[in-house]
Amino acid sequence: MEALRLESLSKTIGKREIVKNLNLSVKEGEIFGFLGPNGAGKTTTIKMIVGFLKPTDGKIYINGKDTKNNRISFISNMAAMVEAPDMYPYLTGAQNLRQLARLDGDISQSQIDEAVKLAGLSDRINDKFKKYSLGMKQRLGIAQVLMGNKKIWILDEPTNGLDPSGMIHFRNLFKKYSREKKVTIFISSHILGEMESMCDRVAFLNEGEIKGIEDVNTMKGNLEKRYLEIVGGEEDDFSNN
């Protein structure tokens, strides 16, 4: 079953065409990587998928249905983490999650507690958000995604700021949710090694256009090489990832 499809999706801001005629589909339970350099159009695409931006042209399908005329209903099946989590600085992590749960209207305290545990924030959840490090903010953002039990996750650089053990933890957690709960995960990241270890397929985006979509298994450990062949850049660009 197809969980997400973009059909001729485009976005123009002023005279600049940010996203150009994107076409891709993501299967139910698949982890789909969205790769590209800064400014390629990844975050703009993600913002259109989750409803933060209106497409200039094209369509977005969720579970085979066009979202244009009933966007709120379709977004209710989706959890998203777009860019760095931005929450109320003077509330604690727990208070922020409870506030978000109220907005959703269908999330229990036990679901919040389980999400916090899975995100590895139990010992700091009662600290104020303004005191969180970048990695802790990312963990809280991931807890927000986890607590809703949604079937489609849209994640924009979710492991940014995490230490290696945190990245490994969430890589394994995402794979578990994908395999065991059939959660569909559409994820962008600059960390190619993580994407190679996690994703089933990846799309290569550059200058607003998809340059290729490939099965990770067929690359046999050469995702970085394929990225450079398709998108361009220097090998040293990824030496610290």
Cα 34 → chain centroid? 9
Contacts of 94 (CB under 8 A, 6+ apart): 112, 116, 125, 126
pTM of the model: 0.93
DSSP letter for 177, please: H
User: How does pLDDT run across 98-151, given as a tens digit for each residue?
Assistant: 999 998 888 999 999 999 999 999 999 999 999 999 999 999 999 999 998 899
Residue 175 domain-assigned (yes or no): no
> Is the predicted pLDDT of residue 83 greater than 90, yes or no?
no
CATH number at residue 10: 3.40.50.300
Residue numbers of the domain that contains 11: 1-39+52-77+199-236
Residue 128 domain-assigned (yes or no): no
Q: Compute the mean pLDDT over every residue in the chain, rounded to the nearest whole number.
A: 92
Residue 116 domain-assigned (yes or no): no
pLDDT for residue 221: 80
